Structure 1
């Protein structure tokens, strides 16, 4: 199958992107509005873009109406700061629920029953239960040529790392973090580690094997095109 990307609308392009670029790390982004309301949302168009100084990138689509800017973007634009929290498997459901389109006046930490912790530099709170959080100040914003998509670069000014995860020589004990990523409209648990080359019998044993579902749904299940999914990264139900 060859798909001409120039003929796709935003929704169909989004489907192909999220199904092709897998797995994607999830930035659980906390912000505080100019009026002091705290917001929390998952962003899976997320990566590191610099080392010195360390920088991260977030790509933010508008709300599910395709027009209204998400609170996360508005807060970053207006205050110049945000926090990237790393979530683990026990937080998966609340991460998913934090993608709901709450009213801008709602404190999403309170709505989701999450504890806050203070940052050193930025005013936005971090998620207390997250093992790693990155305090970020706005570096720059790129606007898409069409539509209301934006890319935000933030400079990391503080790393908050749980003590038992911080190893000698400035390493993080990644094997101790039950982190999960984003596939298309689903999630995947990172539960194995390897270096290359792998033994041939290991490769042969896994050839053609599907991912194991942890939720009991059939192999061909996908939330895409259900009532709860939207091509904006927001969750409707």
Structure 2
């Protein structure tokens, strides 16, 4: 999951968790983020405005130690508010783009816009392709031959209205007994809620996880 930092034309910093995030190319390295509208379903978000106006953004890897701040950055702030300051987060200066990085993020990609693609109904979604012009990787994560120690990253993902922690890795084939033992096992809940609980069942539930007052 990406935690996207941008800056407005006037230099106001913005943060947004983006669940639609992936790599789209290797030479040159490119990533994509899909930005939806504000909670009202019409107005575009500050993230997209800033990306469109400046042609730059940073994707910071979202990990468990910063999950509360990451989630809080989804709430709607006025466009004039510096969200780093509002959330008590420290900035790390970027080297190529003007948008700041999130201090403490284990991996960050400085990106310049390659293209912005409207998708579907007018104003609903925009896919942004960004060329990575600078990689920032924490020293202890960088291994020989350019590999990343992924087992040391408590990466966060999004599953509709909830989050998930990536806390295991494997290669195939797996032992048949292990597969059989896990066949009907439910995910472990880290929040101590009942196993079948879902925020989708509440009054503010939605497939995207958006609720009134949420911006991204």
**TM-score, scaled to structure 1:** 0.85
| Partner residue in 2 for 1:161 | 137
Q: Which has the higher strand share?
A: 2
Which deviations, in whole Å up to 9, do the C-alpha atoms of 1:99-152 show, x marking residues without a partner? Answer: 101110110001111110001100000001100000000000111242312111
Equivalent residue for 2:93, pick from 101, 113, 118: 118
| Partner residue in 2 for 1:175 | 151
Verify: 1:220 aligned to 2:209, yes or no: no
Aligned with 1:210: secondary structure?
coil
Verify: 1:134 aligned to 2:109, yes or no: yes
- Structural mapping, 1:74-85, within 5 Å: 74-85=49-60
Gaps of 5+ in 2: none
| Partner residue in 2 for 1:46 | 21
- Structural mapping, 1:4-83, within 5 Å: 26-83=1-58
* Cα pair 2:22 2:33 within 8 Å, conserved: yes
Runs (4+) off by over 4 Å? 227-235
Identify if the C-alpha distance between structure 1 residues 56 and 185 changes in structure 2 by more than 3 Å, giving closer, same or farther: same
Aligned with 2:65: secondary structure?
helix
Identify if the C-alpha distance between structure 1 residues 100 and 234 changes in structure 2 by more than 3 Å, giving closer, same or farther: farther
Aligned with 1:224: secondary structure?
helix
* Cα pair 1:139 1:155 within 8 Å, conserved: yes
Aligned equivalents of 1:145, 1:55: Cα separation in 2:
22
Aligned equivalents of 1:111, 1:227: Cα separation in 2:
27
Identify if the C-alpha distance between structure 1 residues 102 and 175 changes in structure 2 by more than 3 Å, giving closer, same or farther: same
| Partner residue in 1 for 2:184 | 208
Shift of 1:224: 2.3
| Partner residue in 1 for 2:127 | 151
Gaps of 5+ in 1: 1-25
Give the aligned CA root-mean-square deviation in angstroms.
Answer: 1.5
Number of corresponding residues: 212
* Cα pair 1:57 1:151 within 8 Å, conserved: yes
Shift of 1:94: 1.1
Aligned equivalents of 1:233, 1:107: Cα separation in 2:
24
| Partner residue in 2 for 1:4 | none
Identify if the C-alpha distance between structure 1 residues 173 and 224 changes in structure 2 by more than 3 Å, giving closer, same or farther: same
Identify if the C-alpha distance between structure 1 residues 32 and 102 changes in structure 2 by more than 3 Å, giving closer, same or farther: same
